[in-house]
Copies of this chain bind each other. A is one copy, B any other.
């Protein structure tokens, strides 16, 4: 889930970024409206956090510009608690409003709340391939109807591979997409998790049929 934060104060930018990353979001930052617009187009974030007061072009302008193309949810930050700001923001189509200085936990909570309201939650599809079934809603992975009892990482990895069955992923790619772009983890860690997954879904450990190694490249799951 990608969030773009636009604010001209570096310290705010950094603390917000850290907090949101810690909450599991992929965070992009920009220090001006122009930069924000550019990154918005490139990164296609799922939610925006905009400072109302920006040096050249105001956050409200940026909001207007973005609203022409997109219905992405927007949360405003403002130093003043003035009514005009609030009014202008909500009129333009902001989804929420936070007055600086704000509590970081509150910001994170609002980001999540807005996402939930806007119905952007992860599409939570059930994945079935052969005798394996993975339901992210109940967070249950079963093989032949029996629970696989996966740990969080195992579940995430299994879900990702099953969702893109057949496709090969390098260890680095898996780290990026399953562990998250923030994680600084040795690539060999993936091997260990693959091993644990094989223990659950492969009948013959020495000859994997479904979690297949592609030597020199990575791993893939065959449904």
- Nearest Cβ on chain B to A172's Cβ, whole angstroms: 6
How many angstroms from the CA of A217 to the CA of B156 in the assembled complex? 11
Whether A137 and B167, one on each chain, are in contact in the complex, defined by CB atoms closer than 8 angstroms, is yes
A145 CB–B CB distance under 8 Å: no
Contact flags A175-219 to B (C-beta < 8 A → 1, else 0): 010000100100000000000000000000000000000111100
Chain A contact residue count (CB 8 A cutoff): 40
How many angstroms from the CA of A101 to the CA of B84 in the assembled complex? 10
Whether A184 and B152, one on each chain, are in contact in the complex, defined by CB atoms closer than 8 angstroms, is no
Residue A172 contacts which of B95, B112, B173 (CB distance < 8 angstroms)? B112
**Binding-face segment, A5-13, A50-58, A103-111:** A103-111
Residue A151 contacts which of B81, B99, B176, B216 (CB distance < 8 angstroms)? B216
A113 CB–B CB distance under 8 Å: yes
Binding site for B on A (CB under 8 A): 81, 83, 86-87, 90-91, 93-95, 99, 101-103, 105-106, 109-110, 112-113, 116-118, 137-139, 151-152, 166-168, 172-173, 176, 181, 184, 214-217, 220
